[in-house]
């Protein structure tokens, strides 16, 4: 049996009286890549933010390795260390160069020795093709380079899984390829990931499983080859046609 890392049970979340997530349940095994797709406003980003503790939940449970992490406030920083998150907006400190942005979390939060983290950061930057940018400020980087730095920063916290929230939404097509190539490499290395994206070709290439979210509920899930070639629900078929996918 697969080693279940994350479980979400009957998650409900509302904002200002409007229910955004409606009884969402899912599980993710260690090493699995799950991609969440669906129309704008269906609750995809809210789901990730609830899992990471950035949003409180109204009811339900979120478990990490069988332990309930939802509703935790005292140990929230430890939970965020175990579940890394990369945002669309990069969130790099503009006054700090790339290396200092990378060192801050591991040294401050994890109390790791500087020399050790520098070695890991340099190796990670080289892997994503950015070692020569170690002393650059964020304003000197392209959008794709900033996003690759943000991914490296999350990895240096040594998380057990990564949440990726529309990380290519603000990028032009060439930069999208740069960033998605890094994520594909992570998937091949066995990193557990829950990814929200509108990049359908990427979703098909990277996912072990697709979740289709509509109106705050998971209305369909399955293997990528099944979902993209023969979606079971009419709503999923309509959604995929907007991306020039043909059910076949």
> pLDDT tens across 137-167, in order?
999 999 999 999 999 999 999 999 999 999 9
CA distance 63 to 71: 11
Residue 58 structure tokens? 């109204």
Given this model, what pLDDT does residue 220 score? 97
Q: Where are the beta strands (DSSP E) in 1-49?
A: 4-15, 18-29, 33-37
Say if residue 248's pLDDT is above 70: no
Q: What is the pLDDT of residue 72?
A: 75
What angle in degrees, to the nearest 10, is found between the helix axes of 143-155 and 114-127? 140
- The CA distance from 169 to 27, in Å, is 26
Structure confidence by residue, pLDDT tens digits, 14-44:
998 899 999 999 999 999 999 999 999 999 9
pLDDT digit string, tens, across residues 61-76: 999 999 999 887 677 7
| Rounded Cα distance, 102 and 130, in Å | 12
Q: Which band of pLDDT confidence, cut at 50, 70 and 90, is reported for residue 247? A: very low
Cα Rg of the chain (Å, integer): 18
- Nearest residue to 212 via CA among 192, 242, 235: 235
Asked if pLDDT for residue 172 goes beyond 80, the answer is yes
Average pLDDT over residues 95-120: 95
Q: Are 46 and 85 in contact (CB under 8 A)?
A: no
* pTM of structure: 0.93
């Amino acid at each position: 049996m697969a080693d279940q890392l994350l479980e979400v049970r009957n998650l409900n979340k509302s904002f200002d009286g409007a229910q955004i997530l409606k009884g969402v349940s899912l599980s993710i095994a260690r090493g699995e890549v799950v991609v969440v797709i669906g129309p704008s406003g269906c609750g995809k980003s809210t789901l990730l933010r609830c899992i990471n503790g950035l949003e409180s939940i109204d009811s339900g449970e979120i478990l990490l390795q069988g332990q309930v992490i939802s509703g935790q406030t005292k140990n929230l920083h430890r939970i965020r260390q175990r579940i890394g998150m990369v945002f669309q907006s990069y969130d790099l400190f503009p006054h700090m160069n790339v290396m200092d942005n990378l060192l801050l979390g591991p040294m401050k939060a994890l109390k790791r020795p500087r020399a050790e983290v520098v070695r890991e950061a340099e190796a990670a930057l080289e892997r994503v093709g950015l070692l020569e940018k170690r002393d650059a400020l964020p304003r000197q980087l392209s959008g794709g380079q900033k996003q690759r730095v943000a991914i490296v920063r999350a990895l240096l916290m040594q998380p057990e899984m990564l949440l990726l929230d529309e990380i290519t939404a603000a990028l032009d097509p060439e930069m999208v390829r740069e960033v998605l190539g890094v994520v594909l490499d992570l998937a091949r290395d066995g990193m557990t990931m829950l990814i929200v994206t509108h990049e359908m070709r990427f979703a098909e290439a990277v996912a072990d499983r697709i979740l289709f979210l509509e109106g705050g509920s998971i209305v369909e899930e399955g293997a990528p080859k099944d979902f993209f070639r023969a979606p079971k629900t009419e709503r999923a078929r309509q959604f995929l046609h907007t991306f020039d996918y043909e059910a076949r």
